[in-house]
Amino acid sequence: MADQIDYDSPVPYYSQLKQILLEKIHQEVWKVGEALPTQVELCDQYGVSKAVVRQALKSLEDEGRITQRRGKVACVAEPKISGRLLQNLSGTFQDMIELGYYPTTKIIKNHLVPANPKVAQRMGIPEGTQVIELERLRFIKEEPFVIIVSYLPYTLCPEILHVDLTGKSLLEELKNQYGIVLTSSKRSIEAVIATEYEAKLLNVKKGAPLLLFTSASLMRGGEPVGTTEALFRGDRAKFDVEVGQINDIE
């Protein structure tokens, strides 16, 4: 790609500058954590106004490509972590390991609660049924990445209350200790904003964008295994969806 602004192009100047900077980030001209040139330097180098530079940097920041510190210094951000949670039955722990990350886990809650209407509906059980609520905070490179809240039938796996899941996969524990294997799962994903509680755990501002991933899983025979809500930081996560051939629409 050209390393200069095409003043005759119909493409807005800020968009051209954004693509130039993005290409340099991909080429690791600036590595993660390193500073980009200042706004004044970018203005001089590419012959554009400060407004154009600010708009290009704001767009890169909104996409999680850079962070802008005090004094308007822009630095390359950590790349977003790609997930495939819409396409397979593995959990976040195994997915992260397969992607080359080694997550650490902090257990926030592991106790019995009565199923609220939402949880009861997802699990196909009467409201008020005793379920295990397991809340975990996962870290990647010592940075909080996702809050995972799982609800499990107490009668199905009571000993989970006493298992230390700090360095374990819940799905692997269910399989190894109880012979429970997921056979299907209904899943959804939506954009939400962080509550004060969630923001504190994830080290983001209240109202920051999050990705809420919800699943309700079944084992062989259609018996419910549980339901999970996972709240991913919007600035650190993305989800890839792969589809097969699509027939032409006539």
The whole-number pLDDT of residue 250 equals 46
pLDDT of the residue at 93: 58
* Domain span(s) for CATH 3.40.1410.10 in the chain: 81-239
As assigned by CATH, the class of the 13-76 domain is mainly alpha
- Report pLDDT for 25: 87
Tens of pLDDT, residue by residue over 163-206, are 888 878 888 888 888 887 777 778 888 999 999 999 999 999 99
Q: Could you say which residues of the chain have pLDDT below 50?
A: 85-90, 246, 249-250
pLDDT of residue 249: 46
pLDDT at position 130 is: 96
pLDDT digits (tens, 9 = 90+) for 57-71: 988 887 778 888 766
Q: What is the pLDDT of residue 65?
A: 81
- Give the pLDDT score at 216: 85
Residue range 81-239, CATH number: 3.40.1410.10
112/114 Cα distance (integer angstroms): 7
CATH 1.10.10.10 domain span(s) along the chain: 13-76
Cα 140 to Cα 170: distance, rounded to the nearest angstrom = 18
Copy the structure tokens of residue 210.
Answer: 């999050």
What is residue 96's predicted lDDT score, i.e. its pLDDT?
61
pLDDT at 83: 56
Angle at CA 121, nearest 5°, toward 144 and 108? 25
How buried is 59 (Cβ within 10 angstroms: 0-12 exposed, 13-18 middle, 19+ buried)? middle
